[in-house]
Structure 1
Amino acid sequence: MAEIRNRSSSSQPSGSSARSEADIELRKQASAADTVPVVGWRQDIFAISLLLLLYTLQGVPMGIASAVPFLMQKKNLRDSDQGKFSFASWPFSLKLLWAPLVDSLYHSRFGRRKTWIVPAQLAIGALLLWAAPHIDVWLGEGGGVDVPVEVGTLTMLFFAFFFLAATQDIAVDGLALTILSPANKELGATCNTIGQSFGYLISSTGFLALYSPEFCNAYLRPAAAFDETHGLVTLGGFMLFWGWVFLASTLWVALLSRGDEHMPLRGSLGTLLRDAYEEMWLVLRLPAVRSMALALLTCRAALGVFGSATSLRITQAGMPKEHLAIMVSVAQVLGMGVQLYVSGRFLTTGAAGEEAKPLHIFARLYPARLLMGLVALTLVTVVGAHRGSSGGLPYWLYAVVTLSILVQVAVQETGFVAIMAFFNRVADPSIGGTYMTMLNTIANLGAAWPNTAALFLIDAMHHTRPCSCEPPATAGALQALAMPWQALGKSIGKVFGVAVAAPCKCKPEVLIDGYTATCMLSLLVGVAWFVLVRPRLFALQALPPSAWLARRVSV
């Protein structure tokens, strides 16, 4: 790492005296990190275990939220309704607004990070227990297709879940910077990705498998207990279980965790918040951060449609969602292995002292992500062509879909852990929670808006021609008045054996498929992004550590 040049204290903003000496010491440790001898990860085994637990719990509400669109899909909702629900995940893209509060306000005896981690997790557990008896009703479960889904209620509920998980994430990101030894600091990125992936796996694909009657009958139930309409769990029962898990695990974290910071507050809360926001503003004004923000906010513009709509479309095309859940679960296990391999092989300093280059890895993987998007579009078309064939989908098609998911997850997780490793390397530990949260927030916003925009764009670009037997739109009121008499006529006809004309069952002709059109437009955008932004990423990787510090301190 390049040496950090000194800066006189007179150039620091006013109010910086309220910063604790412990924060200054953290920055000194960061600047001298390359002088620390390399040690094994075993010396940090407790810290790694704690971080894995916290990040796993963080992934649970996110995984449950990702399963909800599949349940909503049964009600034939529009893509724009799915887009409205996608707003629930936006707190992770907005958490920068309250990150300085989490980083600055705490109870010194209880711990700087536990002050926020414990209440946030208790609130998630309590909210899971409260919502469990109501969630199936809000989803319209137990009724027909015409039973409405309370999209607004579901969006607000999961918005609250994501807000609490985002608050916990701010504190855990800060904890990772101080609880790990300097030589193992970048393992925080691995704990983040593996923990969140595992929590997402067991609460998303795990739930969908246990919810599906087909999966349960095929793999879990004895023949005498087959049930063609219900799986082993409902969403309400699943949330009830995780509510108690959250409460129990939070008690363990509160009583047994160690390694938190306990220095007393220096100055008033107002002064601390002012200092935090001032320093955050100084960081945001750095040319390196602005350049990185531009790349992060635009890199997913071409990938949003593949992340938000492809799974829904492939199940709509004919792939059973329980089978897709098995494929995704296998792929996510592989993804965790990929994260471990990439962290050890490419994201640590080698024996010869060569420094890892995470942004190079991220940039070089981008064409592969675009290619996998094209493969996903092709597979949706192929699955749709085999829909309704006798014997179901052919085995070779399952193998191809599984292989494509495995490759996609491996590429995606490699890029994600590379970005997280870069954040851990450049983050200033003196404002650890705020700095990490700022970078993660920008990355999350860059992932959130394309997902939401893609769902609305699919709806806007989808055009159909009404079928010939549909009545004109102006006849809607007259048709409603005639419906009772039509039903009476059918009943009389059945009694006297008179044939009655069957209702129109034709489907509108699709002129422009919104999903296909959005995918093709996204691929063109992706190629343009790669050509324009790839050199910027390489230049950011070459910057010295001093370029990422808001103010430099004499060491």
Structure 2
Amino acid sequence: MLELRRLDQLTDHGDIDDSSDLSERLDEQHTTIKPVLTFLEKKNLVFLCTIYFIHAIPLTFSWYTMPIILRQQLSYSAVGTFLISQYPYSWKALWSPLVDGLHHPLIGRRKTWIVPSFVIGGAVLFWLAFTQDSLVMEVANGSSLAMAWIVLPWLIIMFVCSNIRIALDSWSINLLSPPNVHWASSITNVGETSAGLISCNLFLGVTSLNSPIQEDGKTEPASTFLFFGASATVFIATAILLMIGNRESDKGQKRQSIRKVYNIIWEILKLRHVWTLMLVHVASMVGFITNDTITILELVKNHFSDLDLAILATAGLPFAIAGSFLVANAMQTRHPLHVWRRMFPWRLILAFISQLTILFVARYPNSRFRWLVILIPFCLSQLYGVAMWVAFVAFHAQVSDPQFGGVYMSVLATTLNIRYDTLQFLSTKAIGMADDMTGSTSLIDGYQIVNATTVVLAVPIYWFFLRPATLYLQTIDASAWRIRSQEPADGVAYEMVGNVLDDEHQS
């Protein structure tokens, strides 16, 4: 078993410049025989992918489509206000102990939360089907109260979807064997990407045919009635099918007291390397946040139609799925953090190139090459972005204590979500303020200023912190991530699973 080493012991001479050699040696140690998925595990992956897909339909609509709908009518600052609704999903670790610790034995440990969450989510989606279109128009006419009524139901949807996600994360660890647990992150991404195809690509493409241009040149918001109505129906139907389906198996799982489960979070947060990982999460997104979240909105500003955006998103979809599977395959012989480090510089370069493409589109709006200029960096950004996210989540699954999978995964994922929502909120507000200073018609606008600043800042952040920090995390033995608060019976069962993970890590 590898010993826990300090950062200054990474190399013989304490020189981090030689850390690439260390990375290669560590990856050689990690090389092992490729594990094989059993037939039961393949069935479990299909099941997980289906539920991830369904619960991600409103999520991806909120992440991708709602900002586009609002940006067609409103400023970046107003879009930033809507993004507040996404915070429950980011802070789901706060109540993950309740989801992991409370359940009805006749229903099942996970279905106790998944089924009611689908029912509540379906009811709220039905309400949005009849109200959201008129509320968006009221916001465009200056009603701040209407914005509050848009944010409130989306807060509820994000809350119930976070409950589903916590339960699924925990369930995935138990449905897959330790050598194959890394497939959970890829399946999660496939489900969410497929949901994005429905809620963004297909929605924008179909509704663009019936979205006339207003007198002021803005596109009239697309009707969401049919989409929300269908989504609500799927949510309710899924709840019914899960309820009448086979009873959930909870072998070896004991019901925990709420106090004890909350104590698990405290035990996780007492680990120094967990805080290092969280800092890596936050710092790693600085250089990409503007490109990932605002570039598509800049295309709206430069008169790309809903159909244009749908075509662009569809073109990027194969790259997103390919990134997920390519990384999953690479991680069978390479450490997830090694894969992540290799992709960071290229993704940063693409963020800067994307900024130049927006300049080109703004300067030459009628150029026959505008699609080619936009398409290549967009698709490659999708590939690298998804791949790096999958690598992070795979690392979470690798080090998480399987006895407390839902809580542990949620705690580690919390900073992934918080960093995204917070930096996106700050980015939109910063761009709005910069636009006020430079003028909305200027080529060098708020987007150009903020993106260039974040890309430049990311270079020293990566070299002096992210690279050595991830190398340090890569050397930590799997047993160092374990929670030491189990009762004797739980501890014995846990050590059996932990030994398997340790053996795989050492091999």
Under TM normalisation by the shorter chain, which class is it? 0.7 to 0.9
Quote how far apart the aligned CAs of 1:255 are: 2.4
Whole-angstrom CA distance in 2 between matches of 1:258 and 1:192? 23
Deviations 1:155-214 (A, max 9, x none): 222121111111110000000011123332221111111111111221122111111027
Quote how far apart the aligned CAs of 1:116 are: 0.6
- Alpha-carbon distance change, 44 to 258 in structure 1, aligned in 2, over 3 angstroms: farther
**Residue identity in the other structure for 1:415:** M
Q: Do structure 1's residue 118 and structure 2's residue 115 form an aligned pair?
A: yes
Query: Are 2:362 and 2:443, in contact at CA under 8 Å, matched by a contact in 1?
Result: no
Quote how far apart the aligned CAs of 1:358 are: 0.4
Q: Which of 358, 369, 375 is the equivalent residue of 2:353?
A: 375
Q: Quote the residue 1:154 is aligned against.
A: 150
**Residue identity in the other structure for 1:456:** K
**Residue identity in the other structure for 2:207:** Y
Q: Quote the residue 1:347 is aligned against.
A: 331
Q: Quote the residue 1:470 is aligned against.
A: none
Higher helix share: 2
Q: Do structure 1's residue 443 and structure 2's residue 416 form an aligned pair?
A: yes
Query: Are 2:204 and 2:307, in contact at CA under 8 Å, matched by a contact in 1?
Result: yes
Q: Which of 169, 172, 189 is the equivalent residue of 1:173?
A: 169
Q: Quote the residue 1:245 is aligned against.
A: 234
Q: Do structure 1's residue 535 and structure 2's residue 468 form an aligned pair?
A: yes
Q: Do structure 1's residue 133 and structure 2's residue 130 form an aligned pair?
A: yes
Whole-angstrom CA distance in 1 between matches of 2:345 and 2:33? 37
- Alpha-carbon distance change, 88 to 538 in structure 1, aligned in 2, over 3 angstroms: same
What are the equivalent positions in structure 2 for 1:269-308 lying under 5 Å apart? 272-308=257-293
Q: Quote the residue 1:408 is aligned against.
A: 381
Quote how far apart the aligned CAs of 1:337 are: 2.6
Q: Do structure 1's residue 337 and structure 2's residue 322 form an aligned pair?
A: yes
Whole-angstrom CA distance in 1 between matches of 2:202 and 2:440? 36
Greater C-alpha Rg? 1
Q: Which of 465, 477, 480 is the equivalent residue of 1:547?
A: 480
State the TM-score, normalized to the length of structure 2: 0.83
Whole-angstrom CA distance in 2 between matches of 1:258 and 1:111? 7
Query: Are 2:327 and 2:339, in contact at CA under 8 Å, matched by a contact in 1?
Result: no
Q: Quote the residue 1:515 is aligned against.
A: 447
Quote how far apart the aligned CAs of 1:2 are: 5.1
Quote how far apart the aligned CAs of 1:524 are: 1.4
- Alpha-carbon distance change, 41 to 341 in structure 1, aligned in 2, over 3 angstroms: farther
- Alpha-carbon distance change, 516 to 543 in structure 1, aligned in 2, over 3 angstroms: same
Whole-angstrom CA distance in 2 between matches of 1:44 and 1:133? 41
Deviations 1:502-522 (A, max 9, x none): xxxxx9874962111111111
What are the equivalent positions in structure 2 for 1:250-265 lying under 5 Å apart? 250-257=239-246, 260-261=249-250
Quote how far apart the aligned CAs of 1:48 are: 0.7
Secondary structure at the counterpart of residue 261 of structure 1: coil
Query: Are 2:265 and 2:408, in contact at CA under 8 Å, matched by a contact in 1?
Result: yes
- Alpha-carbon distance change, 360 to 265 in structure 1, aligned in 2, over 3 angstroms: closer
What are the equivalent positions in structure 2 for 1:445-464 lying under 5 Å apart? 445-464=418-437
Deviations 1:62-107 (A, max 9, x none): 12212122222232x2211111111111112211110001000001
Quote how far apart the aligned CAs of 1:319 are: 2.4
Q: Do structure 1's residue 235 and structure 2's residue 224 form an aligned pair?
A: yes
The unaligned stretches of length 5 or more in structure 2 are: 5-30, 213-218, 486-490, 496-507
Q: Which of 82, 96, 104 is the equivalent residue of 1:99?
A: 96
- Alpha-carbon distance change, 106 to 188 in structure 1, aligned in 2, over 3 angstroms: same
Whole-angstrom CA distance in 2 between matches of 1:88 and 1:266? 32
- Alpha-carbon distance change, 121 to 36 in structure 1, aligned in 2, over 3 angstroms: farther
Q: Which of 298, 302, 305 is the equivalent residue of 1:317?
A: 302
Whole-angstrom CA distance in 2 between matches of 1:206 and 1:422? 32
Whole-angstrom CA distance in 2 between matches of 1:461 and 1:286? 40
Quote how far apart the aligned CAs of 1:284 are: 0.8
Whole-angstrom CA distance in 1 between matches of 2:441 and 2:392? 44
Q: Quote the residue 2:17 is aligned against.
A: none
- When structure 1 is superposed on structure 2, of 243-252 and 426-435 the one drifting more is 243-252
Whole-angstrom CA distance in 1 between matches of 2:441 and 2:309? 28
Deviations 1:245-268 (A, max 9, x none): 11112222222256542668657x
- Alpha-carbon distance change, 251 to 310 in structure 1, aligned in 2, over 3 angstroms: same
Q: Do structure 1's residue 200 and structure 2's residue 177 form an aligned pair?
A: no
Quote how far apart the aligned CAs of 1:452 are: 0.6
Secondary structure at the counterpart of residue 206 of structure 2: helix
Q: Quote the residue 1:500 is aligned against.
A: none
Query: Are 1:111 and 1:261, in contact at CA under 8 Å, matched by a contact in 2?
Result: yes
Query: Are 1:63 and 1:199, in contact at CA under 8 Å, matched by a contact in 2?
Result: yes
- Alpha-carbon distance change, 239 to 255 in structure 1, aligned in 2, over 3 angstroms: same
Whole-angstrom CA distance in 2 between matches of 1:511 and 1:319? 17
Whole-angstrom CA distance in 2 between matches of 1:307 and 1:328? 13
Deviations 1:475-534 (A, max 9, x none): xxxxxxxxxxxxxxxxxxxxxxxxxxxxxxxx9874962111111111111112111221
**Residue identity in the other structure for 1:529:** I
Q: Quote the residue 1:478 is aligned against.
A: none
Query: Are 1:297 and 1:442, in contact at CA under 8 Å, matched by a contact in 2?
Result: yes
Q: Quote the residue 2:70 is aligned against.
A: 72
Deviations 1:118-156 (A, max 9, x none): 111111111111221111101118x9x647573222122
- Alpha-carbon distance change, 199 to 508 in structure 1, aligned in 2, over 3 angstroms: closer
Matched residue count: 455
Query: Are 1:288 and 1:540, in contact at CA under 8 Å, matched by a contact in 2?
Result: yes
Query: Are 1:128 and 1:239, in contact at CA under 8 Å, matched by a contact in 2?
Result: yes
**Residue identity in the other structure for 2:345:** P
- Alpha-carbon distance change, 369 to 173 in structure 1, aligned in 2, over 3 angstroms: same
- Alpha-carbon distance change, 116 to 262 in structure 1, aligned in 2, over 3 angstroms: farther
- Alpha-carbon distance change, 82 to 190 in structure 1, aligned in 2, over 3 angstroms: same
Deviations 1:359-417 (A, max 9, x none): 11112211112111111111111111122x4xxx41x3212312111111111111011
Whole-angstrom CA distance in 1 between matches of 2:93 and 2:383? 29
